[in-house]
Structure 1
Amino acid sequence: MNVHELTMKFLQLRNYSPESVNELLDFTKKAYIHNDICISVYRNLVRELEAQGAEVPESL
């Protein structure tokens, strides 16, 4: 799976386009937690999304 396929899955499940790469990063994390994607796919997607500017929010 690549970022384009992830975006299409997001659109299919949520019925709207992601507003940012951070929203896709959150979606990727949830997919991994729910065992929808394996660790290798998760790592590749996170790497691609971070290359596009996705950031993990800072802790409070």
Structure 2
Amino acid sequence: MIGVIVLQENNRGSTVETFPELIDAAGLAVVFTHGDHKELTHESVFYFIGIMKKGANVPAWAY
């Protein structure tokens, strides 16, 4: 069985683009994001990144 990591982050200090190299280097891939902004925000805005092993079958709920 393959799991999904749901990582909670804060747009005040990072964006989704902060993490791709780290995720890729670990043999993982981003399968979804939710609630993120392209730019840093002045206030805390929490968002989620779904991460799985590269090549794994993504469950339907993660689309």
In the superposition, the TM-score normalised over structure 1's length comes to: 0.31
Higher strand share: 2
Which is higher, the Rg of structure 1 or of structure 2? 2
Between 1 and 2, higher relative CO (CA 8 Å, sep ≥ 6) is seen in: 2
In the superposition, the TM-score normalised over structure 2's length comes to: 0.30
Higher helix share: 1
